[in-house]
């Protein structure tokens, strides 16, 4: 074939191949700076429009309870101490009547595993509702948006204010907003720190400006983190930083309840008058008002199908139901539903994956309860004298020196009786009954002596026993050690 042959430069089009191509179009997000070339840019400003409805009232009430719980919990007292305190410096976690120590690492592991599987179960059943209703990032973002609405106005007013040139009104409102954000962030940081440091002492130190350098650094860090996450980054955290958004699809199936748009009922979209017969015009119920996009905190269009950015907050469903009510249409064009329901198929609420998660939750909850019930709030550490394993005292007896560290893991002062078994006719030199204060370690040096004729071997296994005698309880622990002969 010659180089100048037209057939060599213009390839023939295969009709069968062309018919397999899927037509695409660029989608422009309403109210965004995006030109349609990209679906989302992290730098785009999303002006979330206020919406009211059943799901938003439910979310607000849940957020209020959650936020009040977060604020009040560090202030609660129980039996003379802070009810919830994760004291890292003292290496103990206090949860009302339960005190956890490093020895209880397995118990903490069970709690974390149980929480993870509970999240898996809820996600499989109700989708990403944790993100929409209970996630701290969402709760604090909506609180910061509330400050914006009170200071700068509605979404349209905030957009116009940002587009204005710098003037006195803009400076005052921006200063008030960011000041409110920073003060609220500082209070959040102080409350959060109160879970890890005694809250009453921390509050007094902050008010009197008497905090340590380390605590001041912690407060500054968490203040700026809250201010940045809820004030500036917002949906960027959900879309690009939160791992839950990435792996949630592994738990979804076609019977998972998510917020979805009923395309069969809504298409084709188009504007129309309230009294016009839209069906005669060949239109669906969607009037293409874009309110579902304007109220979305992550800036997506739910009409494009299920997207990992959706946090299942239901804002678009409330906005759409409001429009349907004004148009005298049936509500539920956007609603909590399943993929099978939208396809007109049977919805399987009880299914193998859900049953599997439920069974695992029951098993792990049972194991956790058993672990707590069978937990002995007492620990014993035995330290031998390392300078001399055994020595002969002035009576000719063989003597071994030990240091007993008794940890009272309960929240009451207890009296314990100590004893030793394994060798007959031994003599105990030191206290055999001690009182240990709540959540403290008692160090007791003792020595055990025995006639060498009672020792058959160079090394004999012995058992120390610590038993609670007052107040009367069932706390008892045994710990093995070794008794060495001189020769």
Sign of CA pseudo-dihedral 52, 54, 59, 61? positive
Helix axes 168-193, 199-207, angle to 10 degrees: 140
- Identify the bridge partners of residue 477 per DSSP, sorted by sequence position: 466
Quote the Cα angle for 469-401-387, to 5°: 145
Q: Which two tokens stand for residue 360?
A: 């695992």
Q: How many CB atoms lie within 10 A of CB 70?
A: 15
Residue 38 clears pLDDT 50, i.e. is over it: no
With beta carbons less than 8 A apart as the criterion, state whether 405 and 441 touch: yes
Question: What three-state secondary structure class fits 342?
Answer: helix
pLDDT, tens only, 116-168: 889 889 999 998 899 999 999 999 999 999 999 999 999 999 999 999 999 99
User: How confident is the model at residue 41, as a pLDDT?
Assistant: 52
**How is domain 378-484 classified at the CATH fold level?**
Immunoglobulin-like (2.60.40)
How many residues appear in the chain? Answer: 487
Spatial CB neighbours of 408, under 8 Å, sequence gap ≥ 6 = 377, 378, 414, 436, 437, 438, 439, 440, 441, 442
Using CA atoms, how far apart are residues 298 and 311, in angstroms rounded to an integer? 8
Q: What is the pTM of this model?
A: 0.79
Using CA atoms, how far apart are residues 115 and 91, in angstroms rounded to an integer? 22
Using CA atoms, how far apart are residues 368 and 375, in angstroms rounded to an integer? 10
With beta carbons less than 8 A apart as the criterion, state whether 139 and 67 touch: yes
Q: Do the bridges between strand 98-100 and strand 459-470 make them parallel or antiparallel, or are there none, so unpaired? A: unpaired
SS3 labels along 151-190: HHCCHHHHHHHHHCCCCHHHHHHHHHHHHHHHHHHHHHHH
Q: Do the bridges between strand 77-78 and strand 414-421 make them parallel or antiparallel, or are there none, so unpaired? A: unpaired
- The span from the first CA to the last CA of the chain, in angstroms, equals 104
Helix axes 168-193, 136-152, angle to 10 degrees: 150
User: How confident is the model at residue 81, as a pLDDT?
Assistant: 86
Q: Where are the domains of the chain?
A: 43-375, 378-484
Q: Which two tokens stand for residue 111?
A: 């709690």
Give the pLDDT band of residue 16 (cuts 50, 70, 90).
very low
Question: Which parts of 267-408 fold into alpha helices (H)?
Answer: 291-294, 315-326, 339-342, 352-373
Q: How many CB atoms lie within 10 A of CB 426?
A: 18
Picking from 371, 372, 444, 439, the residue whose alpha carbon sits closest to that of residue 407 is 439
- Identify the bridge partners of residue 118 per DSSP, sorted by sequence position: none
Mean pLDDT, rounded, of the chain? 87
With beta carbons less than 8 A apart as the criterion, state whether 409 and 378 touch: yes
pLDDT, tens only, 381-424: 999 988 888 898 888 899 999 999 999 988 889 999 999 999 98
User: How confident is the model at residue 138, as a pLDDT?
Assistant: 93
Residue 2 clears pLDDT 80, i.e. is over it: no
Quote the Cα angle for 234-238-242, to 5°: 130
pLDDT, tens only, 372-382: 888 888 999 99
Spatial CB neighbours of 220, under 8 Å, sequence gap ≥ 6 = 189
Average pLDDT in the 90-108 region? 84
- Identify the bridge partners of residue 99 per DSSP, sorted by sequence position: 94
Using CA atoms, how far apart are residues 217 and 225, in angstroms rounded to an integer? 12
Give the pLDDT band of residue 104 (cuts 50, 70, 90).
confident
Question: Which parts of 401-460 fold into alpha helices (H)?
Answer: none
pLDDT, greater one: 223 or 453: 223
Residue where the block lists tokens 């996600």: 123
Quote the Cα angle for 471-477-481, to 5°: 140
């Amino acid at each position: 074939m010659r180089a100048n042959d037209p057939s060599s430069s213009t390839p023939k089009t295969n009709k069968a191949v062309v018919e397999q191509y899927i037509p695409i179009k660029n989608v422009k997000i309403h109210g965004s700076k995006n030109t349609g070339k990209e679906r989302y840019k992290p730098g785009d400003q999303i002006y979330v429009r206020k919406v009211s409805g059943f799901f938003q009232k439910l979310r607000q009430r849940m957020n209020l309870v959650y936020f009040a719980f977060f604020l009040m919990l560090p202030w609660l007292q129980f039996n003379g101490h802070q009810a919830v305190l994760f004291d890292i410096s003292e290496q103990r976690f206090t949860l009302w009547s339960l005190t956890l120590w490093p020895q209880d690492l397995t118990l903490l592991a069970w709690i974390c595993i149980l929480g993870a599987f509970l999240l898996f179960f809820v996600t499989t059943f109700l989708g990403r509702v944790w993100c929409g209703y209970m996630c701290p990032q969402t709760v604090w973002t909506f609180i910061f948006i509330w400050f914006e609405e009170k200071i700068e106005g509605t979404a349209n007013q905030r957009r116009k204010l940002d587009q204005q040139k710098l003037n006195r009104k803009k400076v005052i409102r921006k200063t008030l907003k960011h000041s409110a954000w920073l003060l609220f962030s500082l209070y959040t940081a102080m409350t959060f720190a109160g879970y890890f440091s005694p809250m009453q002492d921390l509050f007094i130190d902050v008010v009197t400006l008497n905090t340590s350098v380390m605590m001041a650094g912690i407060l500054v860090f968490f203040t700026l983190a809250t201010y940045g996450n809820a004030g500036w980054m917002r949906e960027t955290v959900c879309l690009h930083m939160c791992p839950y958004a990435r792996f949630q699809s592994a738990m979804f199936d076609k019977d998972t309840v998510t917020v979805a748009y009923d395309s069969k009922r809504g298409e084709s979209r188009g504007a129309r008058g309230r009294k016009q017969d839209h069906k005669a015009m060949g239109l669906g119920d969607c009037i293409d008002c874009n309110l579902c996009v304007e109220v979305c905190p992550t800036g997506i269009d739910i009409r494009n199908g299920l997207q990992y950015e959706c946090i299942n907050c239901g804002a678009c469903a409330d906005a759409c139901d409001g429009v349907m009510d004004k148009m005298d249409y049936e509500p539920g064009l956007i609603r909590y539903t399943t993929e099978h329901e939208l396809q007109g198929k049977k919805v399987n609420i009880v299914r193998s994956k859900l049953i599997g998660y439920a069974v695992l939750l029951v098993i792990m909850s049972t194991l956790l309860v058993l672990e707590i019930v069978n937990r002995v709030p007492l620990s014993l550490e035995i330290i031998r004298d390392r300078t001399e394993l055994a020595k002969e005292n002035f009576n000719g007896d063989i003597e071994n020196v030990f240091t007993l560290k008794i940890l009272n893991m309960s929240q009451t002062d207890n009296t314990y009786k100590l004893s030793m078994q394994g060798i007959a006719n031994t003599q105990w030199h030191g206290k055999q009954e001690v009182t240990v204060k709540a959540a403290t370690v008692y160090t007791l040096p003792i020595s055990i002596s025995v006639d060498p004729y009672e020792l058959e071997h160079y090394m004999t296994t012995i058992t120390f026993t610590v038993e609670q005698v007052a107040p009367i309880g069932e706390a008892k622990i045994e710990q093995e050690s070794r008794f060495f002969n001189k020769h």
